Structure 1
């Protein structure tokens, strides 16, 4: 279960043709370059007279969606029979009309004024009638894809809008990711618009490998292999416009267009050079300043995932997010199980196997590396401290350390040689050289 992710990335690649790419590390694309690239690439695609479902991220990802979606709409309006933008929530909270309008660049309630003929929808993962099964991946195949870590069949369900359109176009960013290695591409199908079964399976597989091992790993990791296998069952044609944002600015370093595997691979290679920062030595304490786009700990936990690899044994990560007032509105089970290392669950599997595996995965990802046995209990490598708007009793009740956010002195932290302050935490991965 603990084999390093980088020992299992040499798989047969599913990329059949190199994607068209513009930009690269150290570059910043202009709006005119972005619009021209999208228009040129989509003009060559076989989309006339067909229906298109556009998968886009929610507001927890840096991405200039008004620019991108505007370019896509401009290239497809009048050519396609139907155009739907589907927000790939995974199991995040649904976005309100005001949030959708703000993210996509239209007056709330009036999408037609900016995107005439287009429909915008949340992925309603909580509604069984919004999902459809496209097949099953058998237990033996799961064992093969997971390098023997799991042996269980999975029903592959996803939003029915995907199969009810002729073509699905993924439009979204690629960043280092704690479950799959690098986000983007086929991940917008699974878990982006998926049913609970494969969300649970894919996230628990990532947890078994561990976040610190798989995050920022290029190539087809076991989790991406599982996702790619699931996507192969989806009947719609699949294209992707994968972008590499400059975190926190909304600008783009690069963008790639092609099939979902090749476009993702090109973008991931750029992201590995622009969204990973290397340190020469481990740090004792990290203060992660979490931006407002992460509005609960389910998402704000990225402020831990991206820094865990550089924290010294016995060190501490402080998640500073006074705006965060709850753990996870859509996943109350986390209050029952709390945050623990992977082995806490694996070695007590009879107690926890019935909990959604994606919740178990989130728990292990925020706790980080550690050990557990029935005699010595749990010993975690790093202390995780929340300086948030979540009440102290709630924080301690889920097995995390508490710090009053009013007690955090940012100026003093920046002057402290033992503290590494990370602004806009959650997208840039930090690793040791």
Structure 2
């Protein structure tokens, strides 16, 4: 174990930690924390994030049972669909006697509490002048009503904030929709391709950290660098969320990025089953957009996906457009949830728009999913019958990059 950037760290890029090492790290770090008699809220990711939660929560349960006065496990949905009891059991493991498990019910105003407002001038400062209006900072009341908040989750390259993890499990993880929309639209203004995999404190990370500073409970984080596709860990860090996140972001940058020498004409992203709608499955596009040549194509192969979004059906009416389209038609779209507009721009990718020439996307986005062809085309995307996709033929095509288990590893040009 070492101390890096103010956090305790075990593991490194290129290493794989065994379960006993991970369990001992969690137990030892929590044993040294001031948690006796405290009410602890443990915030964890939903099933769209790779993470060995049964191992981690088992160690948390073993260490906090008999010490903490009460423990609530809060699943950070953002604005994703709630997880059923059966899915929670599979995802979290357990049972964990004495622990209460809750979904973040972001759709219920009574479950949220306002922590205050970040003023317009401060927003302008944090966003580099891209936005200048106040934003209410609302958070799940479970975090506020506990003495300690322990954030548990992985760090990956991320299309909105640069690298996920840390305070992001609060905002947007268990936040109110206003600041979720606000932070995502800031990321969209920067654009996914420019912010994804950016090290250090991006404008969106700065906004999230500013909001987190308003949380009255003590914040700790157990951040993780997960071996993508295997659910084992390369590294873990523990400490204040900002320090623990920074330590793991450095490892993730050396672990979760693949570099190509030249752009490719086509990418076939095979979207795994953990992404159950295009709202989450779009990560198969975000992570490969940087390596696609101008005029190229990304095919998202996901026969299991049958809808754009389980919780945001308005995306079907709005469709998918580049950032400049929305900025050019802002009066027509500003009343929609900005998080929905952000998702739209992230999946459509880079492009231009003008009144004279209309919208000109940089690449073609093709869905080979269970979403019907008329619905896909009406949303301004291309369609391919998934039954017509020959994976072996694409793999043999020198102009095509086939990405299995897409959505976590970022592809970049050297």
Aligned to 1:91: 79
Aligned to 1:216: 197
Query: Unaligned 5+ residue runs, structure 1?
Result: 1-14, 107-113
Task: Please give the TM-score of this superposition, normalised by the length of structure 1.
Answer: 0.94
Aligned to 1:231: 212
Look up the SS of the partner of 1:425 in the other structure. coil
Look up the SS of the partner of 1:268 in the other structure. helix
Determine whether 1:376 maps to 2:326: no
How far 1:147 moved relative to its partner?
0.3
| Deviation digits for residues 233-264 of structure 1 (CA, Å, limit 9, x no counterpart) | 01000000000000010110000000000000
Determine whether 1:334 maps to 2:315: yes
Aligned to 2:16: 28
- Find the partner of 1:184 among 156, 162, 165: 165
Determine whether 1:68 maps to 2:56: yes
How far 1:16 moved relative to its partner?
11
Determine whether 1:203 maps to 2:191: no
Determine the C-alpha separation between the residues in 1 that align with 2:311 and 2:29: 38
Determine the C-alpha separation between the residues in 2 that align with 1:395 and 1:384: 10
Distance 1:16 1:237, change over 3 A: farther
Determine the C-alpha separation between the residues in 2 that align with 1:421 and 1:335: 27
Look up the SS of the partner of 2:42 in the other structure. strand
Look up the SS of the partner of 1:148 in the other structure. coil
Query: Unaligned 5+ residue runs, structure 2?
Result: none
Give the RMSD, CA atoms, in angstroms.
1.0
> Is the 2:302–2:370 contact (alpha carbons within 8 Å) kept by the matching residues of 1?
yes
Determine the C-alpha separation between the residues in 2 that align with 1:20 and 1:408: 47
Determine the C-alpha separation between the residues in 2 that align with 1:105 and 1:46: 26
Alignment of 1:240-251 (within 5 A): 240-251=221-232
Aligned to 1:305: 286
Alignment of 1:219-368 (within 5 A): 219-368=200-349
Look up the SS of the partner of 2:117 in the other structure. strand
Determine the C-alpha separation between the residues in 1 that align with 2:316 and 2:278: 12
- Find the partner of 1:424 among 405, 411, 414: 405
Runs of 4+ aligned structure 1 residues displaced above 6 Å come to none
How far 1:26 moved relative to its partner?
0.6
Task: Please give the TM-score of this superposition, normalised by the length of structure 2.
Answer: 0.99
Determine whether 1:159 maps to 2:140: yes
Determine the C-alpha separation between the residues in 2 that align with 1:406 and 1:283: 24
Aligned to 2:382: 401
Determine the C-alpha separation between the residues in 2 that align with 1:25 and 1:335: 40
Determine the C-alpha separation between the residues in 1 that align with 2:122 and 2:231: 40
| Deviation digits for residues 191-250 of structure 1 (CA, Å, limit 9, x no counterpart) | 000001100110000000000000000100000000000000010000000000000101
Look up the SS of the partner of 2:41 in the other structure. strand
Determine the C-alpha separation between the residues in 1 that align with 2:97 and 2:155: 28
Aligned to 1:48: 36
> Is the 2:5–2:247 contact (alpha carbons within 8 Å) kept by the matching residues of 1?
no
| Deviation digits for residues 74-120 of structure 1 (CA, Å, limit 9, x no counterpart) | 111110000010000000000000110000113xxxxxxx3110000
Determine the C-alpha separation between the residues in 2 that align with 1:155 and 1:173: 27
How far 1:17 moved relative to its partner?
5.9
Determine the C-alpha separation between the residues in 2 that align with 1:244 and 1:329: 28
How far 1:335 moved relative to its partner?
1.3
How far 1:332 moved relative to its partner?
1.2
How far 1:73 moved relative to its partner?
1.0
> Is the 2:322–2:350 contact (alpha carbons within 8 Å) kept by the matching residues of 1?
yes
Look up the SS of the partner of 1:327 in the other structure. coil
Determine the C-alpha separation between the residues in 1 that align with 2:125 and 2:62: 43
Count of residues paired in the alignment: 412
